[in-house]
């Protein structure tokens, strides 16, 4: 029997629920830890980012108006789908990062557990950060945290799957939509995760994933007037000052985090709404 021809995957972007190639037509080489060629993912341009923002903005109203319980179910669904493709992710991480199988398994398991953990937070976060405020008048006064809008995420270079999940899960848990820039050196687990997300009942445009160079795209994330928040956990330390400066132009909330599981990651991209309601009506 003759040998089968390899069927290799073309890694594309994930924008608005579809998998388009970059409009720029550019790609770059990704190599594994031993320096061997692995794949040619898209080198996204600022125009891909612009398209992703349009998709994310359009998806925000539906996603933020879904019940917290429903968002939790969908996050849990991502965990279920990821569990079903556990072996694929384990072998991808082994191939890409050159780590021992045990370490790769631990990373995938931790990613699945983290999704379940954030799924649980969706309907509890307002109890943690909301309040009934004492006011000097015949009113009930409530403060409720609500989603911010469209949030960008520059993923960390290392732990390409876990670091990525730790970024997008808390952002979308509260009803934000996200545009994530996958790890430049190891973008493949994030792009495979896009396939998981695409089959997990996540509405189109809620999660958008780009692959490319953070030095090229991060300034466009920061200056874009229609991105409300930015998680720069994976940004090169040299670029942080510049990014914070240009984000200040449009009052963007820019944060970076060390903990992978923390309600602070959810609250960082929420804003408080206060409601006055007359007593007795």
Residues of this chain that bind another protein (CB under 8 A): 46, 50, 53, 57, 220, 223-226, 246, 249-250
Q: How far is the CB of 84 from another protein (least distance, A)?
A: 38
DSSP tag of 27: B
Beta carbon of residue 148, minimum distance to another protein (angstroms, whole number)? 13
- Shortest reach from residue 226's CB to another protein, in Å: 4
* For another protein, the closer CB: 72 or 212: 212
Report the residue number, 113 or 242, with the smaller CB distance to another protein.
242
User: What is the gyration radius of the CA atoms in the chain, in angstroms?
Assistant: 20
* Tokens 């069927």 sit on residue: 7
Return d(Cα 78, Cα 62) in angstroms, integer: 18
DSSP string, 101-139: HHHHHHHHHHHHHHHHHHHHHTTTHHHHH-EEPP-SSSE
CB of 243 to another protein, least distance (A): 13
User: Which C-beta is closer to another protein: that of 54 or that of 116?
Assistant: 54
- Distance between CA atoms of residues 22 and 43, nearest Å: 7
Nearer to another protein, 189 or 229 (CB): 229
Closest by alpha carbon to 210, among 1, 19, 54?
A: 19
Closest to another protein by CB, 91 vs 249, is 249
Q: State in angstroms the smallest separation of the CB of 222 from another protein.
A: 9
Quote the least distance from Cβ 274 to another protein, whole Å.
Answer: 21
CB 71 within 8 A of CB 42: no
* Between 225 and 275, CB nearer to another protein: 225
Alpha helices (H) along the chain: 46-65, 68-84, 86-97, 101-121, 125-129, 162-173, 188-198, 214-223, 240-248, 263-267
For another protein, the closer CB: 152 or 163? 152
CB of 48 to another protein, least distance (A): 12
């Amino acid at each position: 029997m003759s040998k089968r021809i390899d069927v290799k995957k073309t890694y594309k972007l994930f924008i608005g629920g579809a998998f388009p190639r970059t409009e720029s037509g550019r790609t770059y080489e990704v190599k594994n830890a031993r320096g061997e060629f692995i794949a040619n993912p898209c080198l996204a341009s600022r125009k891909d980012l612009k398209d992703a923002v349009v998709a994310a903005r359009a998806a925000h109203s539906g996603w933020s108006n879904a019940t917290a319980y429903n968002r939790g179910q969908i996050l849990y669904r991502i965990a279920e789908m990821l569990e079903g493709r556990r072996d694929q992710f384990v072998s991808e991480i082994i191939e890409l990062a050159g780590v021992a199988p045990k370490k790769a398994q631990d990373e995938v398991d931790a990613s699945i557990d983290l999704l379940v953990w954030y799924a649980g937070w969706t309907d509890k976060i307002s109890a943690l950060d909301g309040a009934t405020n004492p006011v000097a008048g015949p009113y009930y006064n409530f403060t409720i945290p609500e989603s911010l809008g469209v949030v960008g995420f520059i993923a960390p270079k290392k732990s390409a799957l876990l670091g990525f999940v730790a970024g997008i899960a808390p952002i979308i848990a509260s009803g934000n939509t996200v545009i994530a820039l996958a790890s430049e050196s190891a973008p493949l687990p994030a792009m495979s995760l896009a396939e998981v997300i695409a089959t997990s009942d996540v509405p189109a445009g809620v999660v958008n994933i780009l692959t490319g160079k953070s030095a090229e795209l991060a300034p466009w994330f920061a200056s874009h007037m229609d991105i409300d928040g930015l998680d720069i956990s994976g940004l090169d330390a040299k670029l942080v000052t510049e990014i914070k400066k240009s984000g200040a132009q449009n009052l963007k909330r820019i944060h970076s985090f060390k903990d992978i599981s923390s309600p602070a990651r959810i609250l960082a991209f929420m804003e408080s709404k206060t409601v006055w309601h007359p007593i007795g009506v």
